[in-house]
Amino acid sequence: MSSVNTTTVKTATAVLEEAPLVQGGLTFNGITEKVSGIVEKPTPPLWWLLFGVALSGTLVLGGAIGWLFYEGTGIWGLNNPVGWGWAIVNFVFWVGIGHAGTLISAILFLLRQKWRTAINRFAEAMTIVAVICAGIFPAIHVGRIWIVYYMFPLPNQMSMWPNFRSPLLWDVFAVGTYFTVSFLFWYVGLVPDLATFRDRATSKIKKVVFGALALGWRWGNRQWKNYELAYLMLAGLATPLVLSVHSVVSTDFATSLVPGWHTTIFPPYFVAGAIFSGFGMVLTLAIIARRVFHLENLITLDHFEKMNKIILVTGSMVGYSYIMEFFMAWYSGNIYEVFAFINRGFGNYAWAYWIMFTCNVITPQLFWFRKIRRSIPIMFMLSIFVNIGMWFERFVITVTSLSRDFLPSSWDYYSPTIWDIMTFVGSFGLFFTLFLLFLRFLPLIAMSEIKGAMPEADPHHYGHAHDEVHQGGAA
Amino acid sequence: MKTHALIAAFEHPGALLDAAVRVREAGYTHYDCHSPFPIHGMDDAMGLKRSPVGFIAGGMAALGATIGFSLQTWVTTSAYPLVISGKPMFSWQAYIIITFALFVLFGAFGAVFGMFGLNRLPRLHHPIFHSELLAKASDDGFLISIEASDARFNEEETRAFLASIGGTHIELVRGE
């Protein structure tokens, strides 16, 4: 009897033991070679092709914005009552995308999820690029671009100050802080890897550029000591920040009285949606990068499975919010609120609502199946669906509520113009331009962090008992 | 050229940790352990105190929050008092978000610039960069450098000592 028990226990342990994060027997040196090799090899033709396409997109964005500055916001499809159109939709969409990067770099760091090390660097880069894309939209939406600095509390000759009670101003601070902190976090993480590039540099230019960017990093533990604590502090600061940013974005809507916007569920619902959409984008990019750069040993199926579980969880939270909004509308007994939601599901924008619902609530549920969580073609498709669904979520929220507000006499249907479309498509161009530059010139995997997460990095691996390490060795 | 330090390589993080303890016990103070990533337990092994960067970040965060809250209070009650949606002039609830944003922003500045300041970075040149061996730390090298400025430093003895605790590839670093 006892022998049977022992066997059961042993099997159970075997099942719970996780596969190593880094596979294929890569050593520390193997990781350096792999990641640095991507940048040191001559530029692949595929990169030039993609970069050309992306750069054309950026030019489209530049053209659309140039015409907007010349002509004014009248070139967009905005009307009365729909004063917020694609620009706001795109703003919320891009800010949301960014959230996955911060979740991976900060929250998973605090939770000691070592698997984050394979994906955190390019997820953080994605965050920064996405927030740049996001920041463009509210800035160009102001109409009179030449006085855009009114958004900032700058002393001026008119003694005018911004309205600190407005959520739109909160957004300026929240998104500005978010960008700055994300950038610092990313850069601090990059410093040791830049120093690796500096030490490997073969040409004078590379030596100078990477040398300057690495700030003279010397790998000493007297430096690591401060570095580790600073990194922890940044993670601790970025965690509440990332939860607050999309909450603040949601107050742009929630503090107004428009039916369908004026609800207290918005902040958590927006945050869950942001993380959901961000993971969709991280997954899309990670699958492509893994394939193109042959990173199968560093970004494994286990990494993808974990991300898919997060997509499943946050997707279900988003689905719960959609349904709860309907319930609350009915339960409130407010006729405008009830109408707003019936209109969302069955009115003139029902097509958008059901695209959103299918992509965000129904298809991610397929991730309950382990086979699907580990199937790259299926997860790739589902991640694209998440991106589409989450864009439509912001469209549905913004446009359905505005186009059918309190007075039927002011109702109108909103459709985008070619300029709206060009600006949106162009923002993808900018996103991929900057992201491709990152992939080409910087280490897309955090070498020092992934090495530090390997079992070989831990002194315990070499037979040190735990308290021995902490009492300063076998004294 | 002035002698700057002796630097030696060790096999793996565990060996480096043991060696760090031996160096400390031998009475050296001007030494450092170079590794491609921070090693668990190394601060204790080297007898280093906890980094003060947390206090810098905390102080800066408090400063940011104070600036944020006072700026908003001053603007809305004194510099530019406007009644907006019938709210009181001093509507502190509305100030919380910007106060929080500046708390995080300044805290992050404190953490990052405090860390670089404590590490005396940016400092693009340092005599240790004359070492051939140091670049190994950016890949898979686990190194200890003992600087010539240390009171106990003696080229012969320190070299023998580093060899005795398992150091290999021992290199004399000259330069300034």
pLDDT band at A472 (very low <50, low <70, confident <90, very high): very low
Q: Nearest by CB to A29, which of B12, B107, B139?
A: B139
Given a cut of 90, is residue B166 above it in pLDDT?
Answer: no
In chain A, the residue whose alpha carbon lies closest to the alpha carbon of B135 is: A199
> What pLDDT was estimated at residue A294?
86
Domains and CATH numbers, chain A: 23-153+161-454 (1.20.1630.10)
Q: Best mutation site among B39, B46, B60, B97 for testing chain A: the one with the most A CBs within 10 Å? A: B97
Phi, psi at A332, each rounded to 5°: -70, -30
Q: What is the pLDDT of residues A2-37, one digit of tens each?
A: 444 444 444 444 455 667 778 777 888 888 988 898
Q: What sign for the dihedral angle of Cα A357, A358, A360, A365?
A: positive
Question: Which CATH architecture describes the domain B3-50+127-174?
Answer: 2-Layer Sandwich (3.30)
Query: pLDDT tens for residues B66-105?
Result: 999 999 999 999 999 999 888 899 999 999 999 999 999 9
In the structure, what pLDDT confidence band is assigned to residue B156 with cuts at 50, 70 and 90?
A: confident
Across the interface, do A458 and B40 touch by the CB < 8 Å criterion? yes
Nearest to B94 among A28, A164, A217 (CB): A164
Instruction: Provide the pLDDT for residue B175.
Output: 81
pLDDT digits (tens, 9 = 90+) for A116-131: 888 889 899 999 999 9
pLDDT averaged over every residue in chain A: 89
Q: Which residues of A touch B89 (CB under 8 A)?
A: none
Average of per-residue pLDDT across A303-332:
93
Question: So where are chain B's domains?
Answer: 3-50+127-174, 53-118
Helix axes A120-141, A86-102, angle to 10 degrees: 160
Structure tokens at A192: 């040791």
Residue A165 has pLDDT above 80, yes or no: yes
Chain A residue numbers with beta carbons less than 8 Å from the beta carbon of B101 are 170, 173-174, 176-177, 241, 244
Are B11 and B114 within 8 A, CB to CB? Answer: no
Distance (Å) from the C-alpha of residue A444 to the closest C-alpha of chain B?
16
Contact B167, B10 (CB under 8 A): yes
Residue A469 has pLDDT above 70, yes or no: no
Residues of A in contact with B144 (CB under 8 A): none
Give the pLDDT mean for A403-427: 93
Interface check A472 vs B, CB under 8 A? yes
Asked if the model's pLDDT at residue A57 lies above 90, the reply is yes
Cα A187 to chain centroid distance, Å, stands at 17
Q: Closest approach of chain B CAs to the CA of A173, in angstroms?
A: 6
Interhelix angle A45-71/A418-441, rounded to 10 degrees, is: 140
Strands B142-147 and B31-34, how do they pair? antiparallel
pLDDT digits (tens, 9 = 90+) for B56-74: 999 999 999 999 999 999 9
**Cβ within 8 Å, pair A463-B51:** no
Q: How many other C-beta atoms lie within 10 A of the C-beta of residue B147?
A: 20
Average pLDDT over residues A376-384: 94
